[in-house]
């Protein structure tokens, strides 16, 4: 049609909030090819936090057994960062501070050890990042890897 340009090797982004567009160049270097996992196992073993520049070295990933053990320890607070209406409801002692309110409610967190959980583990990692920025290394921060979904699945397996 002769209108516009071909975006070969480029990415066009469009911000619908303010109707801005941005075009960025994407290099086709062989270096990036080496980062592509060759198998499912390689994919699961890849440290995406490192590759994406996310430093969560001081945040401990808890499996369901470690989570169940740690939430009973002294001077520990367990925080559900899901929104108030999200299901399933947790059946263990915790407080609910939705991720959307976390910055405003940081003063409520007095305990030395903080355990976070959400639906799938992603929001709890974001919450951990916020807490690390605020508290630094003054508090021990961990989260339930896979979220309450993994915890529910584990309970269902044990009841069958």
132 domain-assigned: yes
SS3 call for 11: strand
Find the DSSP H helices in 13-160.
Answer: 30-33, 40-45, 48-51, 64-70, 122-135, 147-159
Task: Say which residue, 27 or 30, is predicted with more confidence.
Answer: 27
27 domain-assigned: no
The string of pLDDT tens digits covering residues 83-121 is: 999 999 998 999 999 999 999 999 999 999 999 999 999
* Sheet order of strands, 140-144 included: 59-62, 140-144, 113-117, 76-80, 95-96
Count CB neighbours of 143 within 10 A.
Answer: 28
CATH of the domain at 128: 3.40.250.10
123 domain-assigned: yes
Tokens of 38: 């060759």
Per DSSP, what are the bridge partners of residue 115? Answer: 78, 142
As separate numbers, helices (DSSP H) first and strands (DSSP E) second, the chain gives 6, 7
Q: Are 136 and 106 in contact (CB under 8 A)?
A: no
pTM over 0.75: no
Tokens of 95: 């407080």
44 domain-assigned: no
Q: Say how many domains are in the chain.
A: 1
Count CB neighbours of 35 within 10 A.
Answer: 8
80 domain-assigned: yes
**Domain limits at 121?**
57-159
The string of pLDDT tens digits covering residues 34-89 is: 777 888 888 888 776 666 655 556 788 999 999 999 999 999 999 999 999 999 99
CA-CA distance, 41 to 120, in Å (whole number)?
20
């Amino acid at each position: 049609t002769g209108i516009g340009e071909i975006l070969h090797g480029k990415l066009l982004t469009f911000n619908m909030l303010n109707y801005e567009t941005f075009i960025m160049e994407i290099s086709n270097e062989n270096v990036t090819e080496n980062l592509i996992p060759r198998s499912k196992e390689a994919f699961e073993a890849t440290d995406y936090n490192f590759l994406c520049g996310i430093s969560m070295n001081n945040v401990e990933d808890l499996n369901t057994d470690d989570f169940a053990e740690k939430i009973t320890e002294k001077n520990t607070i367990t925080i559900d960062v899901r929104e108030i209406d999200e299901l399933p409801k947790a059946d263990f002692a915790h407080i609910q501070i939705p991720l959307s309110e976390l910055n405003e409610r940081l003063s409520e967190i007095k305990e030395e050890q903080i355990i976070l959980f959400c639906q799938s583990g992603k929001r709890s990692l974001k919450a951990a990042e916020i807490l690390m920025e605020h508290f630094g290394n003054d508090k021990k921060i961990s989260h339930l890897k896979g979220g309450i979904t993994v915890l529910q699945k584990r309970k269902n397996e044990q009841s069958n």
